């Protein structure tokens, strides 16, 4: 085969990646026998071969070639394989529940096989024929290990409790896996939160974000400084290499330039952490909202009187400031059809029900009537400064009366106009709802709010621009929606409806948001 002909043949291939298989040499030959390509078989998804060749890594349509070699798959009894690695919090409960639900809906029977302390496989059999159709191979460790497996080409999907780091993102791009921050490369599967926990016998019931940071930095060492007994504070959290441990560093300590104390006792599992804290009256831990066990969750308080309790609704809206989205990262490779079907299933309403039943926070939008938000409006009146006039509060009330707030909110990365990870996922979610006509014949209003740092008029202008930016992003993502069937609008009320105190970065971050209201 000449180099020119080989180059022409290679140009017909899609430069994407596929499934996961044992690497052996094979030869792919065109039906007329005029063109052949040899290389190491990296994977076959039932439709496409993935080869490492002298031309680089190529994906070849299996319908147009014949495969020769010991690694060539059995096309009639093909078994799809999907390798999933990362967070044990997600892999131990949430993902198995979703696979069971997916199998039930698509006519598969499941069989789980444990391979070791960190590995297990879900086998899916066709109910009608009894044949093995797919294997989901799990390695449950932590987020760092998941990304390491991805970069080593040993995982098709990463389960992560944090966003991909810049270094990991760069290495993935260099390996041909695409930009892992794009909408089609990452998605928020469900929501979690970082919550402080104590024993039910501990009299302390609230703590400020600043105090929480100072406790875990070793600045506050006695419960008496938190309104509790005169006793030393014992610190507990998950390992620093876990996604939740890294979320503590990013969301609790870094905003106030503090470092984690070396007296912290680290735990391998969230259940062990919660159990230990619940049994020791002088212990405090930072845990996953989904894994608090019998421990008491502390309310986050502010000096201005606001308090924020971690609950399903406050986590879903990100009103609770220490939210922790649970991600799936998918490289730019073609997954087997059963894998693509599974990922599609995770976005649907059936999956959202399973996510709630598993103890996590789903992403199904809910409507909260204005009657259920009396405390928010009471706080707005109580905390209104001299720059927030009665007329502005009345305008806000008139505008929103008769509408309901969606739990789908939009917030921005600290010091940036870029939407945060959960909000980028919310753009896609709301866009899909518009495409299927969920809000046809209704009015949707994107309402911008700000923190109170600066002049009220400038804050309202900034909030309005953010609301307009969110509306543009949703419209751009809703490519097939008929926008003539509904009414879209924007408004802003600046600092008129705060969620938290403005005396901390956590509070200001919670106050900078775009809400979605519907009528």
Could you report the per-residue pLDDT of 66-116, keeping only the tens digit for each? Answer: 888 888 887 777 888 999 999 988 998 899 999 999 999 999 999 999 999
Give the CA-trace dihedral at 268, 271, 272, 278, to 10 degrees.
140
Domain(s) labelled CATH 3.30.1330.60 in the chain stretch across 365-518
Q: Is 1 or 295 the better-scoring residue by pLDDT?
A: 295
Domain(s) labelled CATH 3.40.190.10 in the chain stretch across 80-185+330-357, 192-316
Contacts of 53 (CB under 8 A, 6+ apart): 10, 37, 38, 39, 40
pLDDT at position 2:
41
CA distances, 493 to each of 23, 65, 251, 450 (Å): 59, 62, 27, 8
Does residue 247 sit in helix, strand or coil? helix
Say yes or no to pLDDT of 60 above 90: no
Distance CA 234, CA 295 (A): 15
Please give the sequence-ordered ranges of beta strands (E in DSSP) within 221-267, or none if there are none. 234-238, 265-267
Could you report the per-residue pLDDT of 272-331, keeping only the tens digit for each? Answer: 999 999 999 999 999 999 889 999 999 998 777 778 889 988 899 888 888 889 999 998
Share of the chain above pLDDT 70, in %: 94
Residue 482 and residue 438 in contact, taking contact as beta carbons nearer than 8 Å: no
Distance CA 354, CA 509 (A): 30
Say yes or no to pLDDT of 11 above 60: no
CATH class of 365-518: alpha beta
Smallest CA-to-CA distance from 213 within 199, 227, 194 is with 194
pLDDT at position 456:
84
Say yes or no to pLDDT of 348 above 60: yes
β-sheet bridge partners, residue 219: none
Distance CA 512, CA 97 (A): 35
Burial of 393 (0-12, 13-18, 19+ CB in 10 A): middle
Averaged pLDDT, 482-505:
88
Averaged pLDDT, 128-141:
93
Smallest CA-to-CA distance from 29 within 11, 6, 52, 47 is with 6
Domain(s) labelled CATH 2.30.30 in the chain stretch across 3-68
CATH entry 3.30.420.40 includes domain 192-316: no
Say yes or no to pLDDT of 207 above 90: yes
Q: CATH homologous superfamily of domain 80-185+330-357?
A: Periplasmic binding protein-like II (3.40.190.10)
CATH class of 3-68: mainly beta
Buried b / exposed e along 326-340 (16+ C-beta atoms within 10 A): bbbbbbbbbbbebbe
> In which band, very low, low, confident or very high, does the pLDDT at 415 lie, cut at 50, 70 and 90?
low
pLDDT at position 3:
35
pTM: 0.78
β-sheet bridge partners, residue 39: 26
Lowest-pLDDT range of 111-120, 174-183, 456-465: 174-183
């Amino acid at each position: 085969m000449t180099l020119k002909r080989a180059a022409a043949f290679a140009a017909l291939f899609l430069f994407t990646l596929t499934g996961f298989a044992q690497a052996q040499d094979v030869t792919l030959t065109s039906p007329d026998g005029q063109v052949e390509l040899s290389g190491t078989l990296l994977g076959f998804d039932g439709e496409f071969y993935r080869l490492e060749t002298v031309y680089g890594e190529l994906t070849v349509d299996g319908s147009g070639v014949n495969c020769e070699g010991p690694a060539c798959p059995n096309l009639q009894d093909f078994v799809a394989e999907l390798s999933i690695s990362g967070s044990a919090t997600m892999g131990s409960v949430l993902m198995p529940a979703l696979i069971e639900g997916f199998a039930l809906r698509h006519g598969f029977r499941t069989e789980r096989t444990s391979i070791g302390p960190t590995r297990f496989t879900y086998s899916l059999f066709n109910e009608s024929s009894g044949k093995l159709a797919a294997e989901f191979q799990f390695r449950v460790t932590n987020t760092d290990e998941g990304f390491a497996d991805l970069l080593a080409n040993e995982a098709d999907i990463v389960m992560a409790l944090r966003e991909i780091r810049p270094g990991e993102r760069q290495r993935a791009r260099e390996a041909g896996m695409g930009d892992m921050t794009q909408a089609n490369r990452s998605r928020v599967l469900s929501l979690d939160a970082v919550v402080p926990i104590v024993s039910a016998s501990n009299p302390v019931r609230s703590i400020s974000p600043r105090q929480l940071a100072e406790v875990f930095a070793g600045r506050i060492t006695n419960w008496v400084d938190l309104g509790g007994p005169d006793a030393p504070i014992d610190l507990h959290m998950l390992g620093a290499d876990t996604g939740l441990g890294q979320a503590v560093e990013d969301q609790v300590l870094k905003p106030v330039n503090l470092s984690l104390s070396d007296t912290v006792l680290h735990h391998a599992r969230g259940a062990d952490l919660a159990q230990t804290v619940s049994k020791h009256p002088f212990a405090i831990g930072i845990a996953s909202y989904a894994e608090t066990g019998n421990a008491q969750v502390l309310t986050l308080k502010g000096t201005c009187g606001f308090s924020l309790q971690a609950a399903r609704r406050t986590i879903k809206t990100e009103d609770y400031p220490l939210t922790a989205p649970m991600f799936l990262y998918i490289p730019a490779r073609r997954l087997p059809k059963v894998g693509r079907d599974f990922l599609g299933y995770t976005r649907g309403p059936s999956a959202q029900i399973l996510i709630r039943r598993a103890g996590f926070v789903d992403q199904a939008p809910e409507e909260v009537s204005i009657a259920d938000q009396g405390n928010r409006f009471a706080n707005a009146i109580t905390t209104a400064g001299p720059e927030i006039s009665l007329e502005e509060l009345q305008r806000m009330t008139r505008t929103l009366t008769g509408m309901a707030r969606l739990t789908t909110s939009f917030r921005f990365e600290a010091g940036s106009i870029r939407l945060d990870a959960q909000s980028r996922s919310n753009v896609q979610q709301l866009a899909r709802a518009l495409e299927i006509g969920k809000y046809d014949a209704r009015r949707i209003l994107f309402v911008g709010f700000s923190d109170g740092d600066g002049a009220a008029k400038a804050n309202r202008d900034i909030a309005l621009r953010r609301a307009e930016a969110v509306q543009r992003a949703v419209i751009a993502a809703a490519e097939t929606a008929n926008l003539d069937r509904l009414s879209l609008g924007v408004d802003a009320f600046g600092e008129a409806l705060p969620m938290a105190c403005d005396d901390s970065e956590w509070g200001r971050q919670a106050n900078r948001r775009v809400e979605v209201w519907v009528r």
